[in-house]
Amino acid sequence: MALETTKNIWHNGKLIAWEKAQIHVMSHVVHYGSSVFEGLRCYAQPSGAAIFRLQDHMRRMLDSAKIYRMPVRYTLDELCAAAVELVESNGVAPCYIRPIAFRGYGEIGVNPLRAPVDVYIANFPWGKYVPGNDGADVCISSWNRLAPNTMPSMAKVGANYMNSQLIRMEAEINGYSEGIALDVNGYLSEGSGENIFLVRDGVLYTTPLANSVLSGITRASVLTIAKAMGIPVVEQALPREMVYICDEAFFSGTAAEVTHLRSVDKILVGDGSMGPVTTAIHKEFFAIVNGIKPDIYDWLTPVRVPVAEPVGA
């Protein structure tokens, strides 16, 4: 997907020009993948725009940094204010927001403890992520997700995405939109950049954090919405074959939002169409993020930006 540029990028407390946001090739992150980052969406609203779950995303970035002993010298509130300042200065909505903190330039060797930490936030327009308008055709990957006690999957770090890249490339080369990885024990884990949900007999299932998944903020939102709708929710280890016999399946994620799966390994999920539970959750999710329904969960941070696209459920 080609990157569409905007005017400014936030860097260590200041807005700088997009083209000036550059790093040295000898920065630690380039060699050792030492970055923690986030991905957020800012949605169009009937009267402006709003960032979805800003505090939760910035909190997860600080959590990722803590796991990796990376000192980020900005507080949660400062990072949230920085994202708002950036989005308003660039005047682009809807958009995707990418905060990143990484080990910068000045030290060589694996040990990151004395390498400086740089923080940037960028934003840019970004549309649909998982291809397929009538549902995604996906596969089970031959690659496993990260094993416990190797790379922590609750940390959203650059290095983890080498595993995601293997999953995503293999899927695309074999003609699928996305891959679902199993964990090291052969249980369902998640997509290369999405959590997975299955529905069988009206019960909504998702894989727990112990199956090497990222603690997805959209996943948490889906669970909240489902519980409020009275849909029974089960978080448990799921065998691979559940995806072949479930009635409905969907991905959740900031990029993927709520994307229904039409088939897995060329086996139709249900009759291939978006089923009733997925449809209800999908509708509610978009009604909230697009400001059509009230923000009863306090998920939205308004930003003063004229919207470029009409709001639709």
Ligand X SMILES: Cc1ncc(COP(=O)(O)O)c(C=O)c1O
Residue 179 binds ligand X, judged by CB under 6 A: no
Q: Which of residues 91 and 152 has its CB atom nearest to ligand X in the complex?
A: 152
Distance in Å, CB of 113 to ligand X, minimum:
26
Is 227 catalytic? The answer is no
Residue 194 binds ligand X, judged by CB under 6 A: yes
The count of chain residues that interact with ligand X, using the rule CB under 6 A, is: 14
100 and 36 in contact (C-beta within 8 Å)?
A: yes
Residue 195 binds ligand X, judged by CB under 6 A: yes
34 and 158 in contact (C-beta within 8 Å)?
A: yes
Going residue by residue from 29 to 58, which x/- string records binding to ligand X, judged by CB under 6 A?
----------x-------------------
Residue 217 binds ligand X, judged by CB under 6 A: yes
Q: Which of residues 90 and 252 has its CB atom nearest to ligand X in the complex?
A: 252
Where would I find the H helices in 150-308? 161-173, 217-228, 242-245, 276-289
Residue 248 binds ligand X, judged by CB under 6 A: no
Residue 28 binds ligand X, judged by CB under 6 A: no
Residues 97-126 that bind ligand X (CB under 6 A): none
SS3 for 253?
strand
Residue with tokens 């950036």: 86
Give me the catalytic one of 156, 227, 283, 293: 156
Residue 216 binds ligand X, judged by CB under 6 A: yes
Burial of 294 (0-12, 13-18, 19+ CB in 10 A): exposed
| Segment near ligand X (CB under 6 A); pick from 24-32, 108-116, 199-207, 246-254 | 246-254
Q: Which of residues 195 and 263 has its CB atom nearest to ligand X in the complex?
A: 195
Residue 257 binds ligand X, judged by CB under 6 A: no
Q: What is the distance between the alpha carbons of residues 209 and 189, in angstroms, rounded to a whole number?
A: 9
Residue 219 binds ligand X, judged by CB under 6 A: yes
> Minimal CA–CA distance to 218: which of 206, 210, 230?
206
CA distances, 286 to each of 45, 52, 93, 183 (Å): 11, 11, 16, 30
Going residue by residue from 132 to 171, which x/- string records binding to ligand X, judged by CB under 6 A?
--------------------------------x-------
Q: Which of residues 137 and 178 has its CB atom nearest to ligand X in the complex?
A: 178
Residues at the contact surface with ligand X, assessed by CB under 6 A: 39, 164, 190, 193-195, 214, 216-219, 252-254
Q: Which residues are the active-site residues?
A: 156
